[in-house]
Every structure is written in C-alpha cells, then in structure tokens.
Amino acid sequence: MAVTHSFAIGREQCFQQIERLTKSHILHSSESLCKLLRYLAEHSLDHPGVALKEYQIATEVLGRPTGFDPQSDSTVRVQAGRLRVKLAEYYSHEGVNDPILVEIPKGSYALSFHLRARSDSGGTPIVVEPKEKIVAVPAPKQPLPILVMVLSVLLAASLVTSAILLSQRQRVQTVTGEQPSPVFQIFWNRFVTGSAQPWIIFSNGSFVGRPETGMHYFNPATDQRAFILDHYTGVGEVLAIHQLDRIFYLFNRQPQVKRGALFSLDDAKNNDLIFVGSPSENLTLGDIPGTREFTFRRLDSGPRKGDLAVFNAHPLPGEPQFFLATPANQPTVDDYAVISLLPGLDPNHSILILAGNSTFGTQAAVEYVCREDDLKELIRRLNVSKASDLKPFEALIHVKIARGVPVTAQLISIRIH
C-alpha cells in the first residue's frame, strides 16, 4: 500500500529559515546583508503583495539620508544583488538539504519562499496570506521501498562519478608532472591550507559612455553616477586570473573570484584575499589596510602631473622617491608593480596585493609569484626556508614590456615588516 505524507509550513517556519540563513557560514559575517534579509522577510510575510520601494530600503535599512536618490545611487540594487548571490551560494552548499528555499526574484524586492518537494530539486511556491498561516504540500506518492532504491542508485552513481573525476585530475597532474614545488609551498601555504576558499578580487575601473560611441574613466565632477559601466577590466587582469587558477589547481584548491565593484568589507572579514590590480581601479583597496612602503598615488606637480606612480615611502640610498611607467601617450615599454603580503582584517588571515601602474604591470606581478624561478629569487631575498618563516613584506619589481606583453620582471627593492 502506498504511503502518502504531507508537510505543513507557516509564517513561523519561514522566519526560522531566515534565522538559519543569517547564522550560516556564508551570511553570518555580513551584518548589512543579514539586516536586509530580515527586513525583506518581515515585509513580505507581514504585507504580502505590497511592493517595496528602493527609497524605503535605503532609508530604513541601509542608513541612507532622506535625500537619497535611487536614480543616482545604486546602493540598494547592489546590496540586493549581493544578497541574491549569497542565497544561491548558501543553497548550493550549506543549505542543500534545507526544506525551505528563500529567493529574491529579479526585478523585485519581495522574498519568495518555496517548499522543496522530496522527489526533485524544485519547490512548490508557498503563498503566505495574512490570515492563512499554514499551507500544506503533499509529498510524492511513490512506494517507500522504490524511493529508497532509487535514492541508493543515485548515491552510488554520484560516488562513482566523483571518484572518476578525482582520479582523472590526479592522473593529469601525474602525467604532466605538475606538482607544487617547495618554493610554491612556502609562498602559497597560507592561501591553500585554510578551511575557507581564498578570494581573488580583480580590478574593474568605472567607465561612462559606450564602446561604440567612446568610453572614458568616470569623472565625478562632470559625469552622472547613474551611467557608470563597471564591468570592464584590463587584459593583464584576465591573464593574471588564469595564472592564479593554475597555481590553485596544483594544490587542488578552487578560489572564489569576484570583480572589485561587487566586493565589500563584509566579505573581507573571514577570508584570505588576493587583490589583482592597483587601488586606482581596485577601489576596495582604498578601504582596507594596504601597503605602507610602496603606495600608488598620482603626481600633483611636475611635467607628469596627474600620472599614477609608485611612491617610495622610505627610499634606500640610490632609490628615487617615486617610480613612473611609460607616459600614457606612448607605447608602454616600462612599468613598476608591487607585490605585498600583509595581515588581513582578521590577523588569522592574509592579504596579497599584486598591482602595477598599468594592466601590464599587474600581469607581471602575478606572473612573478606564479613562476618558480622568480619566486625562488623572492624567497631568497626574504631569507625564509619554510612557510612559517614568511613574514609580511612589500616588494617592488621593474617590468619591461614589448608589444603589450611583459617580457622581464626584475626585483629591485623589498621591505620586510
């Protein structure tokens, strides 16, 4: 005889799921997103069908002043987008077995609650009415023994598939001979041994205009913030991500990658971070403790006034006060880049900054720490023989470029904290 079960869910269960989300590993460190999630949940459950305005969210949740203008300030849209991504990430990892799905449909700020059916990965929408607290959803009607057998077969297939994929990855490494060398293990140890995945944050400058009509860097004095395009990055950053991915592949680790415009300080608290690109475009670097010895600043006087340079806070004998790349109106043949290992916002974590005056310098900085021979020179200059000896440092490299390709990178100065 077939056995049919039923499951009930009400307003209280929805709030319990919200609390589970806010206490999850993915969301608990982001106070602003947790506050936004609770607010959206209360409004959706207490006022079903009533649309939320950006102005309400900005002034009541995000602390924006009463003069907030959603047309020129995208804060609410950005935060809602971040929360939408976090929810998807939660349900693909920690919450894979949670019975209640919480989503933010695109184009809306009203939360959607779904009850997962047991026979598939989808869910049945839950309509929460003001006076109707419980919605019953019938379970599938398969006989229990058949359901158990099907699940057992799927589990076995999953295990076999995972074993095959793992063995293939190990065989590829064995055939190619690509294994982490001792110098890689010393330098990258703190980024590949933590329990959480490290974050790679690449720069993407703020532009206005269109590719077909002409684009330029956003100028707050003359351009409207509402028309910013923040989804472009340099060639060097793209190639740099490829190099870093290869390194993490050697260690069987998979980092998380995010463009700088979507990164926030909430994400920085509990993770090891690798910043790719200078603070002139990777703007998040301006909000966290960064380099002290070699800093990026624009010249405020002289024939190169306005050009970005690497300033030398404490020049050693024979060193200049600042280092300049090739002028912007000429083909780039020289650049300077910074490689810095610094303590994270939490001392238990680390920050690695790989940044050049130009996109080519950034590419060279990343390639430097991904090439065994170059890394050997850096480790030798740092005078370390094991991972635990590696202390925070700042290094400067001089990059030679030919036809848009970094061809050499020379370590010219180093400071150990």
CA distance 299 to 205: 19
Chain segment 14-46, per-residue pLDDT in tens: 888 999 998 888 887 788 888 999 999 988 888
Single out the residue of 37, 385, 77, 55 nearest to residue 261, CA to CA.
77
Say whether both 150 and 90 belong to one domain: no
Residue 41 near residue 15 (C-beta atoms within 8 A)? yes
- Would you state the pLDDT for residue 9? 60
Handedness of CA 34, 38, 43, 45 (dihedral sign): positive
Chain segment 181-215, per-residue pLDDT in tens: 999 999 999 999 987 888 998 887 778 887 777 77
Say whether both 231 and 314 belong to one domain: yes
Question: Could you tell me how many helices (H) and strands (E) the chain has, helices first?
Answer: 10, 17
Residue 220: pLDDT band with limits 50, 70, 90? confident
- Would you state the pLDDT for residue 147? 44
Output b/e per residue, 212-230; b: 16+ Cβ within 10 A: eeeeeebeeeebeeeeeeb
Mean pLDDT, residues 392-403: 94
Say whether both 216 and 304 belong to one domain: yes
Residue 2: pLDDT band with limits 50, 70, 90? very low
- Would you state the pLDDT for residue 364? 95
Mean pLDDT, residues 133-154: 43
Residue 266: pLDDT band with limits 50, 70, 90? low
Higher pLDDT, 11 or 160: 11
Say whether both 325 and 356 belong to one domain: yes
Chain segment 64-76, per-residue pLDDT in tens: 787 788 877 778 8
Domain edge (last residue) among 177, 198, 231: 177
Say whether both 172 and 189 belong to one domain: no
CA distance 365 to 154: 46
Say whether both 207 and 248 belong to one domain: yes
Say whether both 202 and 70 belong to one domain: no
Residue 1 lies in a domain: no
CA distance 219 to 206: 9
Residue 133 in tokens: 């607290």
Say whether both 128 and 153 belong to one domain: no
Residue 410 lies in a domain: yes
- Would you state the pLDDT for residue 274? 94
Residue 153 lies in a domain: yes
Residue 204 lies in a domain: yes
Higher pLDDT, 415 or 107: 415
**233 dihedral zone (left: phi>0; alpha: psi -120 to 50; beta):** beta
CA distance 336 to 333: 11
Domain edge (last residue) among 119, 154, 177: 177
Q: Give residue 115's identity as a one-letter amino acid code.
A: L
Cite the beta strand spans of 75-234 per DSSP E: 100-103, 112-116, 123-125, 134-138, 199-202, 207-210, 214-217
Chain segment 267-289, per-residue pLDDT in tens: 677 789 999 987 766 655 655 56
Say whether both 125 and 221 belong to one domain: no
Say whether both 268 and 173 belong to one domain: no
Is the pLDDT score of 387 beyond 70? yes
Chain segment 294-312, per-residue pLDDT in tens: 988 889 998 999 888 999 9
Single out the residue of 372, 374, 354 nearest to residue 363, CA to CA.
354
Say whether both 201 and 123 belong to one domain: no
Is the pLDDT score of 321 beyond 80? yes
Residue 135 near residue 10 (C-beta atoms within 8 A)? yes
Residue 281 lies in a domain: yes
Whole-prediction pTM: 0.58
Domains of the chain: total: 3
- Would you state the pLDDT for residue 289? 61
Mean pLDDT computed over every residue of the chain: 79
Please name the helix (run of DSSP H) or strand (run of DSSP E) that holds residue 395, with its range, or none.
strand 393-402
- Would you state the pLDDT for residue 172? 42
Contacts of 179 (CB under 8 A, 6+ apart): 173, 250
Say whether both 155 and 103 belong to one domain: no
| Domain enclosing residue 162, as ranges | 145-177
CA distance 282 to 289: 14
Higher pLDDT, 107 or 59: 59
Mean pLDDT, residues 114-135: 48
